Structure 1
């Protein structure tokens, strides 16, 4: 009689509160998931069959990624819906599965029951695909045209869509807007569902803003003032350098940032009749009474039932937009945290942009260009306590080849692409002379000390073959280890994966790897926007530079910031491409190569930076073990 059993329908919020688990390592608070008041309507909208498209323009700190994973698994288990999840690039897609999806499944018996291969690697359980009973989930990057083909799904999730390219395809043969290509995957589905979410970036180049313009209605979260009951959207209290009459405010007469942040309060928008202030401690109660209200005054509290302005039931709109910022977050120490973050960012364009994007959830109005100021990078340099800082648990390097020299840069890595520049060496001499190459050999095998005295070697190098005889690098790869020193060349096609490591040796007997340089630069320049000296900055993607002119002088910073997005014409279309416009860029190229070496290490050789970070004192031995394994291979 088992086939006759019927599953009693429950909502995504009910299902998540009952079954969803937050694992150790990938969550600040591990254990059973509890849906916060802000998250109720969002999670239900993600799974409401009446809503065909949901676009969320958001800040950080709202638990969006966890909601997305919960919705994905709910739809797979409870509604038997097959899905595809797109991240900006293939490498980030792999990292998303390893860091966010697999650890959750390990904690959820309800998913394990429909996923026989959940604890073994097989054709049915890969970083690119999970085949369950009744549903299949695919994971892809958004840059390669092939990732949009041969997929028919009922659910499409596009994460961090503002980091997606403006178009996909080969130079001179673009295949179009990736959002439209992704939506094609839903053609013919009985209950099509598309979810797009992102932190905003720059106005004018924003996928999410374009999607919101096409939505039927855009909802914002209105909270009642605890004094007068006036419903209002939470807004930041400074505009154009002046404090407003309402919003998140502070006493600007205080002498220090810390003292100012302690006075953080929210003044009611109803300044004529109320004008009173409320505080972060009131936020939970206010959110429990809050409503999501659209521009035509349609509203909902739970994302399931929708009402007109006059309280009559109405059908949910098919295409829904959401705008939400970090002032609503219940994961803060208080609103003073946001005030302090703004006061520290103020006057620094890159930091102001990061605040506007990640805290206020708004597009940044860029009045100049996309170029990152090298002076800002130089000002952000830090004093390391050791050659290899504590959180850097894995070393990779990039080698740039010139006719009269080799330039080598070593980078240390922590979880989620946090990175530290560890060393720079410039070896002058004819590129093909054995005496020059022996100096490169010595640099490749150089060791670096941690604060506790343990030594680390560079686990993997990517060595550029462009502009010189590739056979020189091929021979050095065989000498140092085929998997330790990898010959590379940049792809001449936009949208390639950061590292397309081959499964077999080429005719020269080496693993020559193609590097998606544009894809890497898209990611790295996003990372560079965040200030490592700001205590409020999330560690993900942070770039740390040492106060050491031998390793990182002004010229190095100029090279790291050497490229900018400029408009070019490709097949009659206006597209943006990275271009150094004649400036020296060896430091940036070597960072791209070091990132490629990291991606090869994590995707092909099982290096897990989260696991290494749990025992950072053994970082050196971990790197050495990796090298020994490579030699054995």
Structure 2
């Protein structure tokens, strides 16, 4: 039997299509994906350009993307890049893991602003997300201020957290809360935001709940409450560049023999005083790449949010 070149090409194409469901992408961590694909748009960033994960952000992002870690609570200060980390991990779930995601902002208006200034700009500037968005830049049922439905079938919702109706009907794999402490503690008398929101992931094979916020009033702060419910409370320890002793940085005050200090009437002279041996540490001397996240409760620690070691390990 003779087979023409055209017939052979058609057969090869048919076999390729048939085998496509068996193709699996090479697994990547959230940090690997972000460093390879993520881009900071000028509309929502101080500096436009390719994303590079900072040393202290590595374990945070990898925990967010780690299927073995179901819940992540981040008590943060301002300007540590939480929203950017969160958006990068959402992109990772959309493109790399094909997971449906739902992100809550404190209000409907905040959710709309986030979708317009952060999400749409990110999709436009990240090629692998843009390739999944044939509707980009035009009106389409898959391109709204509450939903982005990608050509892969994956959906991303961004909703306000003040209305109980926004916590209904959606079935997703990942639910995120941006500035959790700014949410109402009881949403229209139906329960806390995390109680209602986390119901949306109960049917997922790999459920993930990510919460983050700057803390507010001690004792009533929602992110503090969420973190205290966990068996693990981790802090970022860095070694002193002079004595090598690890410590997490504390503000301190005039009476403490550690923390931030400066010469009288000269705030620009600020330095950090090591709590172990009183070493004077300037910011440029701290090497965060040698830092570790250590659990206050168990002593368990990690550098990358992927592998965790026992105390002393």
User: Is the shorter-chain TM-score for this pair beyond 0.5, marking a shared fold?
Assistant: yes
Corresponding position of 1:261: 267
Corresponding position of 1:227: 242
CA distance in structure 2 between the partners assigned to 1:10 and 1:134 by the alignment: 21
**Aligned 8 A contact 2:105 2:159 in 1:** yes
Corresponding position of 1:282: 285
Root-mean-square deviation (CA, aligned residues, Å) is 1.1
Corresponding position of 1:301: 303
Tell me how far 1:11 sits from its aligned partner. Answer: 1.0
Q: Which moved more, 1:15-24 or 1:1-10?
A: 1-10
Listed as ranges, the matches of 1:402-481 within 5 Å are: none
1:183 aligns with 2:194: no
Tell me how far 1:168 sits from its aligned partner. Answer: 1.5
Tell me how far 1:31 sits from its aligned partner. Answer: 1.0
Corresponding position of 1:248: 260
**Aligned 8 A contact 2:104 2:176 in 1:** yes
Structure 1 stretches lacking a partner, 5+ long: 255-259, 312-633
CA distance in structure 2 between the partners assigned to 1:65 and 1:164 by the alignment: 16
> Larger relative contact order (C-alpha < 8 A, sep ≥ 6)?
2
Q: Which of 68, 78, 88 is the equivalent residue of 1:70?
A: 88
When Rg is computed on C-alpha atoms for both structures, the one with the higher figure is: 1
Q: So what's the TM-score if we normalise by structure 1?
A: 0.46
**Aligned 8 A contact 1:81 1:134 in 2:** no
Q: So what's the TM-score if we normalise by structure 2?
A: 0.91
Tell me how far 1:220 sits from its aligned partner. Answer: 0.3
Structure 2 stretches lacking a partner, 5+ long: 1-15
1:208 aligns with 2:209: no
CA distance in structure 2 between the partners assigned to 1:29 and 1:38 by the alignment: 19
Listed as ranges, the matches of 1:73-222 within 5 Å are: 73-132=91-150, 133-169=152-188, 174-222=189-237
Runs of 4 or more, structure 1, over 6 Å off, are none
CA distance in structure 2 between the partners assigned to 1:262 and 1:136 by the alignment: 48
CA distance in structure 1 between the partners assigned to 2:165 and 2:294 by the alignment: 39
**Aligned 8 A contact 2:43 2:118 in 1:** no
Q: Which of 73, 79, 95 is the equivalent residue of 1:61?
A: 79
CA distance in structure 2 between the partners assigned to 1:110 and 1:104 by the alignment: 11
Q: Which of 15, 31, 35 is the equivalent residue of 1:17?
A: 35
Tell me how far 1:122 sits from its aligned partner. Answer: 1.1
Corresponding position of 2:4: none
**Aligned 8 A contact 2:106 2:161 in 1:** yes
CA distance in structure 2 between the partners assigned to 1:134 and 1:222 by the alignment: 41
Tell me how far 1:280 sits from its aligned partner. Answer: 0.8
